[in-house]
């Protein structure tokens, strides 16, 4: 499935090793550029303040020196904030596949959440007037799992993302009605039965070979 507004799928950056067998990606997004606006404005404001101090104060005024160092510190802190934000931007993925909604973030310490499509109940989006103008918003996914409702912020074109999720849910239901066996789901169920002791090791291996084939 191809969704042109999000680019070509063969350029996706979400690691393929994190996908299950026969799982395909429909959407792979970093946060909207709005995510970087805060630190960028902070740098601009610090630079403007520095220019004003240089123009409006006397070169021999001790206050100018103090304010100048404060401005330099503000620029440095704003730059660090921007670098930190950019690092988070590059390592944050909001992904929709034919099986799951996935959110992952973090370069060293990572965190994330995965919501199977068959557990998604409803999908909502929220946008203020300004957010609608720039094409960003929040996405709220209600599922039948323990997590309940998940809120994802700084999502590009959340109304279209909502439609993508609904389309994938409908496609999954259609595959089920057509009798297509979801091998990954069946394997997960077999593994759960094996852990509970319902299946012996030999029965588990036999059922797994039946699903996977020769």
Residue 12 has pLDDT above 70, yes or no: no
Instruction: State the Cα–Cα distance between residues 2 and 99, nearest whole angstrom.
Output: 16
192 phi/psi in degrees, rounded to 5 = -65, -40
Q: For residue 107, what are its two tokens?
A: 């370069």
For helices 201-212 and 183-196, the axis angle rounded to 10 degrees is 180
43-74: b or e for each residue (b if 16 or more CB lie within 10 Å)? beebeeebeebeeeeeeeeeeeeebeeebeeb
Q: What is the 3-state secondary structure (H, E, C) of 10-28?
A: HHCCCCHHHCCCCCCEEEE
pLDDT per residue as tens digits for the range 40-96: 999 999 999 989 888 887 777 777 888 889 999 999 999 999 999 999 999 999 999
Assess contact for 158 and 127: CB atoms under 8 A: yes
Confidence (pLDDT) at 66 = 86
Instruction: State the Cα–Cα distance between residues 199 and 75, nearest whole angstrom.
Output: 63
The pTM of the full predicted model, rounded to 2 decimals, is: 0.70
Which stretch, 104-108, 124-128, 166-170, 181-185, has highest mean pLDDT? 124-128
Confidence (pLDDT) at 61 = 74
Residue 153 has pLDDT above 80, yes or no: yes
């Amino acid at each position: 499935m191809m969704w042109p507004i999000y680019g070509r799928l063969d350029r996706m950056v979400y690691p393929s090793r994190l996908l299950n067998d026969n799982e395909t990606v429909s959407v792979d997004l970093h946060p909207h550029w709005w995510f970087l606006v805060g630190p960028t404005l902070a740098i601009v404001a610090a630079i403007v303040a520095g220019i004003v101090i240089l123009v409006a104060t006397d070169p021999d005024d001790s206050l100018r020196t103090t304010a100048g160092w404060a401005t330099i510190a503000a620029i440095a802190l704003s730059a660090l904030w921007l670098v930190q934000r950019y690092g988070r931007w590059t390592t944050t993925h909001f992904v929709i596949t034919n099986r799951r909604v996935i959110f992952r973030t973090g370069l060293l310490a990572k965190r994330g959440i995965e919501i199977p499509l068959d557990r998604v109940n409803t999908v909502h989006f929220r946008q203020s007037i300004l957010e609608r103008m720039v094409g960003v918003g929040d996405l709220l996914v209600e599922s039948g799992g323990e997590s309940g409702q998940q809120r994802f912020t700084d999502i590009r074109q959340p109304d279209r993302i909502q439609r993508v999720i609904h389309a994938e849910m409908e496609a999954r239901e259609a595959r089920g009605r057509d009798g297509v066996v979801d091998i990954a789901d069946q394997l997960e169920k077999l593994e759960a039965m094996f852990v509970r002791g319902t299946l012996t090791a030999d029965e588990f291996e036999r059922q797994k070979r039946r699903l996977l084939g020769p």
